[in-house]
Structure formats: C-alpha cells, structure tokens
Structure 1
Amino acid sequence: MRTPLVVLDRQRKLARLRAKRSMRTAVVVGSAVAGGVAAVGFAKLCDAAMEAHAWLVGPRHWLGPVLLLVGFPLVVWLTRKLAPAAAGSGIPQVIAASEIGRRRDEAGKPIPDDRVSLKTAALKVALAALFLVFGASIGREGPTVQVVAAVMAFLTSRLRGGPRRRTILIAGGAAGVSAAFNTPIAGIVFAVEELAKGFDKRATSVVILAVVSAGVAAFALGGNYAYFGDLAGSAGWSTWLSAPLIGVGAGLAGGLFSRLLSAWMTGDNPVRRLREARPLGFAALCGVAAATTAALTKGVAYGAGYAEAKNLLLGHFASGWRLAAGKWISTLAAAVSGAPGGIFAPSLATGAGLGALFAHVAPWAGGREAVTLGMAAYLTGVVQAPLTSAVILMEMTRDPGLVGPLLLACLVARKCSEMLCPVPLYHTLARAWTTPRRRSEAEAAT
C-alpha cells in the first residue's frame, strides 16, 4: 500500500510534467501567432509595393520595362550579397531544412541554418517587396512559407522535449500557406502532400495547432475574407465536361514550366552553366525577357497577377491569351533569375488566363467555372500537388459546387504534368539546397 508521501510526490511530478507540456504548447501557439502576424505584415507590404509600382508607371508606360531591366540584376546582386538563402520561392529551403538535421560544430553546438534563419526571413521580405516595386511577376505565398517557418523555428529553438525541429518547420510552412491565402484546410493538406511526403502522424496535431493559431492571427488582423470574394454556385454538366479538357491543357503548360525551371536551376545544360558563371549577366537577360513580355502584353505581366485573375472571376472576361502567355514567360524569368519570389500567385493568374482562353473557344464552358478550373489545374501542373491546389481554390472561392470538377481537373493535370516533369518541382529544387556544393556556393557568395 502506498504511503501518502509517495502519492503526494507522484502527484507533484505529474503536475510538473503537465506544466511543462502546457508551457511547450503555449510556446508553439505563440510562435505560430507571431508567424501569422508576420505573414499579414508581409502581405500588406507586398500590396503597398505593387501600388508603388502602379504609381511609378502610371501614364509613363515606357518606365515599366525600364524598371524590370534595372530591377532584375539589382535584386539578384543584393540577394547574393546579403542573403543567398533567400533566393527563389523559399519552399524548397524549408523542405531541405526539414529533411536534413541541424548541423553542429566540433563543440556540439548547433550551427545556424541560414535557410530558415530570421536574418534570411527579414531580408527575403524586404527584397521580395523591392522586386514587386520593379514590377516582377512573383508571389508572396512561397516566401511566406519560409518566413513563418523561420519565425517558428527561432521562437521554439530553446524548447526541450517538445516537437522535433522537422515537425516545427513543417508546421511553420503549413501555417504560412494558411496565413497567406486565409485557407487553413489547404495549409494542412499542403503540409501532408508537399512539405513532408508522409511524415509521422504525431506531427499532425502540431501542424493543425500551428495552422489554427496563425489563421486566428490573420483573421484578427485581416478579417474574414475570401481571397477572390464569395462566388458560390453550382456545377453543371458543362463544368464536368470542361474539367478534364482544362486539366490536360493547363497540366501540360504547368509541366513544361516546371521542366524548364528544374533543368535551368539544377541540370547540366548551357543555361545552368551561364547562370552559375555570370549570375548578374544572366539576371539581366531575364530582365530583358520580362521587360519584352511586359511591353508586348501591355502591362498585364506585372506583379502577382491577383487583380487580373479576380477580374476574370468576377466576369470581366477576355480571351485570356495575353495574361496566360505573359505571366508564363515573366514568371519563369523571375523564378530562374535567382531573386526572391514565389510562383503561387502568378501561377493562379496564368491558370486564370488559360481558363478564360478555354471559355473563349469552347461555347459550352461557363466563364467563371473555366477560370477557376484553369487556376487549380495549372497550379497542379506546376507543383504537382492536386489536393492542395483543389482545396486552395475551394477555400478561396467558397464554391462547394466545384469540388468534384476541381478534383477531376487537378488529377488530370497532375498526370499530364508528370509526363513532362516526373519529379515534383519543389523537391527537385530542395535537393539543390541539401548538396554540399550548393551550400558552399551560398556561403562563398556572402
């Protein structure tokens, strides 16, 4: 029979254990809230940057291409000089950091990981916003993943006995998607489908906790909004008929984008060799391509493409050809240049253009439904994450009637994309951030 002292001692130990667990949970929640606040601040900064670009260009249409010619090499030079790990989307860096354990020095102390450091996150925010001022076709959603993951990794770095670092990075990435699009379910799906191919089930609760906490912070600051407004409706037979056809076209276009970007960033070819040997000269060439595209498309290729996509969804229909072709080329130029910036929002704009083009040539297709399907299918073709793409569009448009057609279009798009690009884009790019060669190049650039 246990004595009262033994029972009391056990109760005290259990109380201390519960207190430690509660403290760890509070730290995770607090870090996710901080990440959500950072995401909202980044979003407002990017909006202000695009407004600044519109104000600078205004009636001076000749200034837009000039800004791109100057901006590409300048932003790439600043990135290589100040924060090499801030280049590109940021999602590959988070994947690489989550797959490789933290490095330690000879004394056993952890070495700071520049891929998910606060310095890299802060400079990524500033450089991406600057790139938008110049009119580059980039998005903030991928960078937000890296920023929120960096914030959570820093604020939870001193936790003992809590979630593993990999779990924290995955949760931070999921929270970043949730806060960037105001789509919490898509954040969870993105973590499972893209950031961690089948991570352990114990991480699920941490991911959901981080997503909800960041979403609450984003809701408190940004309000309860739908990314493209409330567009509820119902899908008829024409939508189901259009879904696989749009999936084929958008999937092939997205797969070609990923194939070229993967090859030029990681393959052995003349473009990659030129990019490594003359990074600033190569960035200038990318600027020429973006400036030429902007001039030919009369400015629709500038920025993230949010306004253009929303106009198509709201019924201001056009053929979509200029938007689709312009965003495809300008986004590829920005992504391969080595400057900070994501591809999510520009991909949605490209897909919107493809959907509008399909509705223009197919008399049975509903315009808004085709645009929505095009956005989801093209995003799937680029990142090969069909569930994430479908859920993002479902949550952004709040149209439950399109659930089935969206899933069908995304699955078809993924199959078509895989024919051109067998390995998903982000995981191909992530391997470049785990190799000693790339790490040494990044350190040498500083």
Structure 2
Amino acid sequence: MNSHKADYKLPNESLWKPVYRGIVVGLAAGIVVGFFRLSIEKLFEQVQGVYIQAHDKPILLVPIAAVSLLVAIIIGSMIRSDSDIKGSGIPHVEGELKGLMHPNWWSVLWKKWISGVLAISSGLMLGREGPSIQLGAMTGKGLAQAFGAGRAEKRVLIASGAAAGLSAAFNAPIAGLLFVVEEVYHHFSRMVWVTALVASLVANFVSLNIFGRTPVLAMPKDLPFLNLSQYWILVLMGIFLGLLGFFYEKIILNIGRLYQFLGRLTHLSAPLYVILAMIFILPIGYFYPQLLGGGNGMIVSLPTSNLTFWTALSYLVIRFIWSMLSYGSGVPGGIFLPILALGSLAGMVFGLGMVNLQLVSHAALPLFVVLGMAGYFGAVSKAPLTAMILVTEMVGNLKQLMAIGVVTLVAYIVMDILKGQPVYEAMLANMEPTVEHTVVEPTLIELTVSDKIAGKRVRDLVLPKNVLITTQIHQGQAEVVSGSTLLHSGDTIYLVVNEPEISKVRELLMT
C-alpha cells in the first residue's frame, strides 16, 4: 500500500460536522438541481407546444428538425470531450463510490447540466433524476475538495450530494436517503445517513421554494381502497410488473448494440448517436406530443384521461420502445422517471383489464396507476423500500402503503427469481471493462459486522491482500484490532482498503 497517501483517520463522532456539511451540500445541490429542473420544464413546455402546433402546420417540422440537429451536435461534442456525462449518471456515481471511477467533478457538473437540459427538454423520453443525482454527487465532490476532506469523507459527501439531487428532482427527501443507502452506497452508517438526510431535507427545502408544495405526481386525494378479499389481484399485478421489469432490463442493457449497428450503417461515431435519437423522436412529437419527455405530465393526467384498454396498451408500447431508443443513444438523461411513466401505464393497462373483467370498479384506476409505478420501479431497480417511499412522497398520499407494499414485494420477488439484477449495478458492470484503474490508493471504509462474520476472530477471515481491519467500535468504545479480536454482530469496524477493492470487500464481509 502507498502508506504516504493513506487516509486512515477515523471519522469524528460528533454530529455537528456531518450536519454542517450536510447543510452546505444540500443547499448547493438544491440550487444546482433546482435550476436544472426548472430549465428543463420551461424549455420542454416550449418544445411540446411547437410540436402540438406542427400537427396543424406540418411545415414547422422543418425548423424543429434543424434545431434538433444543432442540439444533437452540441450534445455530441460535449460527450466526446467528457464521456462521464453520458447516460443516467447513476452508474458513474456508484462506480466512484466503489473506487472504480474518478471523474473530473467540474467538467461533469457544467457539461452534464447543459447537455442534460438540452437533451431532456428536446422531447426525448428521458428523465431528469439520474442526471440530478450525478449533478448532486459532483457538487458534493467539489465541496469535499474545498473542505479538504479525506477520501472516506469525500465518499460520504458524494453520496449525500446524490441523495440531495434526487430529493430536489422529485421533492422526495426520504426516498433520496433510502435510494443512496439501498442502491448507491450500500451501507447504512451513522455518518452517511445523518449527512445524507440533512442534505436531502435542505435540498428539498430549496426545491419547495422554487416549485411550491404540490407533489410532483399529484394524484386524487382520496385514492380508493381495495377490499382485503381483492388482495389476490395485487399479487397478480406484482407478478405482471415483475415480468415486465425483467423484460425491460434485458432490453435496456442491450439496446446499445442497435446503435452500434446503426452507427456502422450511417458512419456516425458513438457521441453522435444522439442525432439518430432526435430523428426517431420526430414522428412521436408530431402524432403523440402528449407522450414526449420524461412522462410526469402524462402520469398526472392518467387518472382523468378516460383511456380505453387498447389505447393505454398502445401508449405503453410506444413509450417502451422510444424510451429505449432515447436512452440507448448514450445521450445525457435518465431512466428513473421513464420507468415510473412505464409503470403508471402498465398499472393503467392492468387496471383497465380488471375493470373489463368486472373485478374492480372504474373508480379504482388511480390506485392502479400508483401501484404500477411502485411495483415496476421496485422490480427494475431492485430497491423496493425506495420504490415504496418514493411513490408515496411523489403522489402525496401515505394511505396506500399496504397495497403498495404487497405489489412491490411480489414484483421484487419475481425479478429475483428470474435472476434480474439491479439495473444501475448491471449498467455499471457493462461499463467496468472500459474503466481504467489509474488511481489505486488506500482509503478507510466503515462496515457493520454482519452475521456472516460475527463470532469469528479477525485471523479467521479470508481477505484480499493489502486489506487491514484497524478498529472495532464495541459498546461505544473504539478498540484496536489484532488477529485475536472477536467480531461482534452489529459493531462497526474500520478497514484500510485499496479503492478499487471496496465493492469486493463489502461483498465478502456483508453478503
């Protein structure tokens, strides 16, 4: 190990420091993401309005195509200059927290902001939340550099910035915290959850001052309840959503091959695949402008839309295909909100099917829209707690947690039985062969002693070379670890690890 660069200092146990830094990260990330979201909303309104006018004046498609081409070239040049701005950004954040990636935070911050606004507001079926999470994480990384934080604390601030980014994007502070712990950071330590929670709450406060207190996906206030005798319908719905989620993951992980094929045909390099995505979206903008964008407007309109079963199914198919075409181009934009949009349509289709079979009333459809979002996202992300809390925060209704829990759990189990992977981890795995481990430095990580290693002596553990357990916090007291130290379940241990091995060590000791 490069001991001269080591970062072995144990985190300060005082709460003041994580609270203070959480406030700063939340305030900065809230401002960055808040204006990112506002810019997208204002520009998208204009773009969608022009597409609506084009339906009566097709000649308007000419300037739309010209502007789209210009935007695509601008985005492509930014991607060429920094590949870390491609796609959602969540896999990049996970990769950095695992020590696999080391992006330039300033380059990603401003280029992702501009390219993300241009791409998402253009009508492509992309979400703002993935880029918002990456923008928040890069804000946290920049502040960590300003604070002179060590690598262990830098990871905490990156994770906290990610939580703040999701909170500001969706007005969902608790979901922001859960998403980071469950999907991004994969560890629930005091330093992480305190800093991340404070950052999420502050970022949400900033967002509420910009956008108001109306829930992002406001649904009817009194969602109908199903009778307990009808809960078997929720089990069927969970199975349906789990199967759809598995199919979604298989396609989204392989859609890049289509663009590679098209790139060879058109002689376009990868950064300019966005030109093809812009071309693909033109007919949807002309015929179905209501389906453009991330989908939050469509989701909110579903309960009062009076769609037929076949119309809802056709919308689901269109959004599924064009969401894939949008994301597969590598353009800066996320799948988070599009997943929720697909889930809402899948819930609508399932609900209308139940209505047609006279198993539920038509008044129950808003509930199926909500259940569809939670179950589908829970399956695709394999983060069921985040899915449940995120949807309840976004729709502003906590009364349906039981039904949401049943559907989400069943969808998650189906996805697990089919060996589906958490989609963002799978995306990162696809990226890892191209990651250059140019920085191999030791750092301090914090883990909770799991049942897998509890009761063992340190000398009995099989650990990779150059991994050192330094300290165990037992009954509130720090003790230096030796080979004979007994590990106690629930205690906190600190390990010195080379950054690229963080994920491997966590897997060995925690699962």
- Using CA pairs under 8 Å that are at least 6 residues apart, name the structure with larger relative contact order, 1 or 2: 1
Aligned to 1:374: 372
User: In structure 2, what is the Cα distance between the partners aligned to 1:271 and 1:83?
Assistant: 19
Counterpart selection for 2:194 from 200, 205, 222: 205
Shift of 1:313: 3.2
Deviations 1:6-42, CA, capped at 9 Å, x for gaps: xxxxxxxxxxx99x98567434412221111112111
User: In structure 1, what is the Cα distance between the partners aligned to 2:291 and 2:282?
Assistant: 9
Contact residue 86 and residue 331 of structure 2 kept, 8 A: yes
SS class of match (2:400)? helix
Shift of 1:281: 6.7
User: In structure 2, what is the Cα distance between the partners aligned to 1:245 and 1:67?
Assistant: 47
Counterpart selection for 1:236 from 221, 226, 230: 226
Please state which structure has a larger fraction of its residues in strand: 2
User: In structure 2, what is the Cα distance between the partners aligned to 1:429 and 1:89?
Assistant: 10
Cα RMSD for the two superposed structures: 3.1
Shift of 1:290: 3.9
SS class of match (2:225)? coil
Deviations 1:140-190, CA, capped at 9 Å, x for gaps: 011100111111211222335676111111111111111111111111111
Aligned to 2:147: 159
User: In structure 2, what is the Cα distance between the partners aligned to 1:373 and 1:315?
Assistant: 17
Structure 2, unmatched stretches of 5+, are 1-10, 439-511
Shift of 1:271: 6.0
Shift of 1:288: 4.8
Aligned to 2:506: none
**May I ask how many residue pairs the two structures share in their alignment?**
408
SS class of match (1:236)? coil
**Letter of the 2:238 counterpart:** G
* Mapped pair 1:308 → 2:298: yes
Shift of 1:392: 1.0
Contact residue 251 and residue 413 of structure 1 kept, 8 A: yes
SS class of match (1:388)? helix
Deviations 1:276-317, CA, capped at 9 Å, x for gaps: 98426754544454445556x623431111111101134644
SS class of match (1:89)? coil
User: In structure 2, what is the Cα distance between the partners aligned to 1:410 and 1:68?
Assistant: 41
Identity %: 22
Aligned to 2:340: 348
Could you say if the C-alpha distance between residues 298 and 192 of structure 1 is closer, same or farther in structure 2, counting changes exceeding 3 Å?
same
Shift of 1:374: 1.0
User: In structure 2, what is the Cα distance between the partners aligned to 1:423 and 1:70?
Assistant: 35
Contact residue 309 and residue 352 of structure 1 kept, 8 A: yes
Shift of 1:126: 1.4
Contact residue 178 and residue 386 of structure 2 kept, 8 A: yes
Shift of 1:327: 1.4
* Mapped pair 1:88 → 2:87: yes
Between 390-399 and 318-327, report the one with greater CA deviation: 318-327
Aligned to 2:406: 408
User: In structure 2, what is the Cα distance between the partners aligned to 1:416 and 1:75?
Assistant: 42
User: In structure 1, what is the Cα distance between the partners aligned to 2:294 and 2:30?
Assistant: 20
Aligned to 1:393: 391
Aligned to 1:70: 69
User: In structure 1, what is the Cα distance between the partners aligned to 2:115 and 2:405?
Assistant: 35
User: In structure 2, what is the Cα distance between the partners aligned to 1:433 and 1:345?
Assistant: 22
* Mapped pair 1:227 → 2:247: no
User: In structure 2, what is the Cα distance between the partners aligned to 1:243 and 1:71?
Assistant: 47
Aligned to 2:477: none
